[in-house]
């Protein structure tokens, strides 16, 4: 009921940090384009296989962007849908299932709704069936104005592979819609080709598959390379359409790509065993904030997560974040690094905790449990508060 929400509000307020003044309003009035990069691990960035870069375009883009090298995917079983849920709401996904599927009709206070009150037009582009992950229902609850699903794309036998429309064709067909769109817009493109089991046509294989003991790992690198090309194509088309200069691009990986049962291939690649510590680090995905014309670009190694994007973006847009966000502005000086994963694992700048063991976050060495204990209660509390909001649909009591 409403009093539960009061308790949670008090907790969130007590843990609040003042957002960065430097970044406040930095991108006010500009278009925003999120690119959700399917199954994009962070380890592909600046990596070479057989002497070739896996993500040459992203590696270049990073030089001209704010790049976060310790940014975690925090998804649960809801995979892509959980990443969207985290980014739009700054709430944790559920311990089981996908909140998109089980709580689609909840009252939310998501970014599309908030920016809509500031004159933004919002849309999602994703060339899959609108009902997948219940998106057709949830996007309304989140306040999206439009959803360009598979019906908006020309998909034929020559331009699809694996799960559907190839990423290059997807971005090429998306830009004309953006060109027509009312500005400023807040939009999200969700890529698809780099999805398990990583199928690709021979002519799209820009690098060779690897030769490890895992077919999945072997095929993963060429599909990542292909998505990198699709993103390059997208940025070029945005320039051609005169949309680039006035748009901010935020690229992030939705979640890991290599499942645990294929770690044998990664172990071959690294020549060492993948430990529970490594497993947590494998949940890192790239976060790239590219602001054309921005001059203070750099790599930021603070521990951050998908839950932080909503408060971070709203502050950059100069819009007050007046609601219940569990994340924090990643540019704030006051930020106390603590990133919580859905399974209760957590990472700070000093420790990493998973499966009952406390590690040194840098070296991976096991350390005294007492180093992790100060955070344990907070982690449990925070996940449980977020769950309460979703299970109880508590945001409907807000401002009553």
- Which range binds Mn ion by CB under 5 A, 45-53, 73-81, 156-164, 364-372? 73-81
Residues in the chain: 400
Q: How far apart are the first and last CA of the chain?
A: 11
Confirm whether residue 199 is marked as ligand binding. no
**Which DSSP state fits 19?**
P
Q: Which entry of Mn ion, ligand GP9, none binds 188, CB below 5 to 8 A by partner kind?
A: none
Nearer to ligand GP9, 79 or 290 (CB): 79
On whether 121 is known to bind a ligand per the annotation, the reply is no
349 is in an annotated binding site: no
Strands 298-300 and 66-68, sheet pairing: parallel
Nearer to Mn ion, 39 or 386 (CB): 39
Binding to Mn ion (CB under 5 A): which residues in 4-63?
A: 38
Asked if 367 contacts 360 with a C-beta cutoff of 8 angstroms, the reply is yes
CB of 102 to Mn ion, least distance (A): 18
Instruction: Find out whether 361 and 351 touch, Cβ atoms under 8 Å.
Output: yes
Q: For ligand GP9, which is the closer residue by CB, 119 or 259?
A: 259
293: left (phi over 0), alpha (psi -120 to 50) or beta: left
CB proximity list for 319: less than 8 A, separation 6 or greater: 114, 115, 118
**In terms of C-beta density within 10 A (0-12 exposed, 13-18 middle, 19 or more buried), how is residue 51 classed?**
exposed
Q: CB of residue 222 vs Mn ion: minimum separation in angstroms? A: 18
* Residue indicated by tokens 């998106």: 135
The residue number with the shortest CB distance to ligand GP9 is 79
Q: Is 82 in the site for Mn ion (CB under 5 A)?
A: no
Q: Which secondary structure element, helix H or strand E, spans residue 160, and what is its range? A: strand 160-161
Cα 175 to Cα 154: distance, rounded to the nearest angstrom: 14
- Alpha carbon 345 to its chain's center: 18
State which residue, 59 or 136, has the beta carbon closest to ligand GP9. Answer: 136
Q: Does 98 bind Mn ion (CB under 5 A)?
A: no
CB 163 to ligand GP9: min, Å? 7
By CB under 5 A, name the one of 204, 254, 323, 382 that touches Mn ion.
254
**From the candidates 9, 55, 80, 212, which is the catalytic residue?**
80
CA distance readout (Å), 232 to 54, 249, 253, 257 = 13, 12, 16, 21
Q: Determine whether 348 is an active site residue.
A: no
Residues that bind ligand GP9 (CB under 6 A): 79-80, 128, 132, 190, 192, 195
Least Å distance between CB 207 and Mn ion?
A: 22
62 versus 190: smaller Cβ distance to ligand GP9: 190
Residue 309 Cβ vs ligand GP9, minimum distance, rounded to whole Å: 17
Applying CB under 5 A, the residues found at the interface with Mn ion are: 38, 79-80, 254
Active-site amino acid positions:
80
Binding residues: 38, 80, 195, 254-255
């Amino acid at each position: 009921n409403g009093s539960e929400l009061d308790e949670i509000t008090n907790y969130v307020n007590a843990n609040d940090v003042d957002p960065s003044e430097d970044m406040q309003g930095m991108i006010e009035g500009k278009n925003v384009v999120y690119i959700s990069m399917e199954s994009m691990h962070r380890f592909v960035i600046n990596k070479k296989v057989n002497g070739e870069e896996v993500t040459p375009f992203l590696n270049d883009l990073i030089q001209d962007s704010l790049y976060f090298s310790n940014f975690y995917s925090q998804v649960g079983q809801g995979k892509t849908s959980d990443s969207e849920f985290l980014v739009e709401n700054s709430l944790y996904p559920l311990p089981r299932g996908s909140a998109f599927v089980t709580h689609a009709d909840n009252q939310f206070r998501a970014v599309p709704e908030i920016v809509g009150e500031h004159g933004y037009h919002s849309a999602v582009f994703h060339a899959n069936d609108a009902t997948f992950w219940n998106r057709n229902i949830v996007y309304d609850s989140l306040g999206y104005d439009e959803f360009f699903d598979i019906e908006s794309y020309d998909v034929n036998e020559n331009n699809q592979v694996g799960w559907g429309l190839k990423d290059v064709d997807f971005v090429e067909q998306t830009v004309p819609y953006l060109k027509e769109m009312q500005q400023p817009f807040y939009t999200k493109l969700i890529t698809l080709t780099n999805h398990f089991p990583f199928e690709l046509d021979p002519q799209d294989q820009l690098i060779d598959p690897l030769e490890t003991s895992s077919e999945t790992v072997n095929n993963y690198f060429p599909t990542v390379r292909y998505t990198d090309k699709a993103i390059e194509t997208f940025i070029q088309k945005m320039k051609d359409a005169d949309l680039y200069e006035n748009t901010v691009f935020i690229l992030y990986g939705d979640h890991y790509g290599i499942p645990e049962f294929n770690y044998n291939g990664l172990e071959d690649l690294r020549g060492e065993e993948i430990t529970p510590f490594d497993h947590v680090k494998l949940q890192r995905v790239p976060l790239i904030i590219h602001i054309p014309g921005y001059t203070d670009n750099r790599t930021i190694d603070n521990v951050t997560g998908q839950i932080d994007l909503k408060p971070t973006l709203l502050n950059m847009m100069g819009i007050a974040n007046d609601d219940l966000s569990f994340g924090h502005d990643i540019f704030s000086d006051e930020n106390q690094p603590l990133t919580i994963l859905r399974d209760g694992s957590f990472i700070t700048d000093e420790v990493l905790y998973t499966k009952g063991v406390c590690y040194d976050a840098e070296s991976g060495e096991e350390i005294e449990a007492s180093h992790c204990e100060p955070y344990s209660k907070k982690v449990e509390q925070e996940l449980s508060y977020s769950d309460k909001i979703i299970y109880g649909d508590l945001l409907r009591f807000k401002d009553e």
